[in-house]
């Protein structure tokens, strides 16, 4: 199954659903990284460092980071 990292804005209901289906989902809150005003590039780097796919609702912000080569 997949390993995910859920950004703060990602719906917890989806996190729970993914977990019930056997996926490993770590939330920013569980990682101790919530409510700290972390920039999107830092959140993306955290996910990459942990070898997890980032789940977010901030599609445009992260698409910009992708286009910038991050």
Angle at 31 between CA 26 and CA 36, to 5 degrees: 125
pTM listed for this prediction = 0.86
User: What is the per-residue pLDDT across 11-31, written as a single tens digit (0 to 9) for each?
Assistant: 999 999 999 999 999 999 999
**Using 50, 70 and 90 to split pLDDT, how confident is the model at 40?**
confident
Handedness of CA 31, 19, 49, 34 (dihedral sign): negative
How far apart CA 32 and CA 35 sit, in angstroms, is 9
Contact 33, 46 (CB under 8 A): yes
Angle at 38 between CA 55 and CA 66, to 5 degrees: 50
């Amino acid at each position: 199954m997949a390993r995910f990292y859920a950004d703060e804005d990602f719906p917890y209901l989806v996190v729970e659903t993914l977990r019930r289906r056997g996926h490993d989902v770590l939330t920013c809150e569980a990682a101790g990284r919530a409510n700290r005003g972390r920039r999107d590039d830092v959140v993306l780097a955290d996910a990459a460092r942990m070898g997890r796919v980032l789940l977010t609702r901030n599609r445009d912000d992260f698409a910009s980071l992708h286009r910038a080569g991050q």
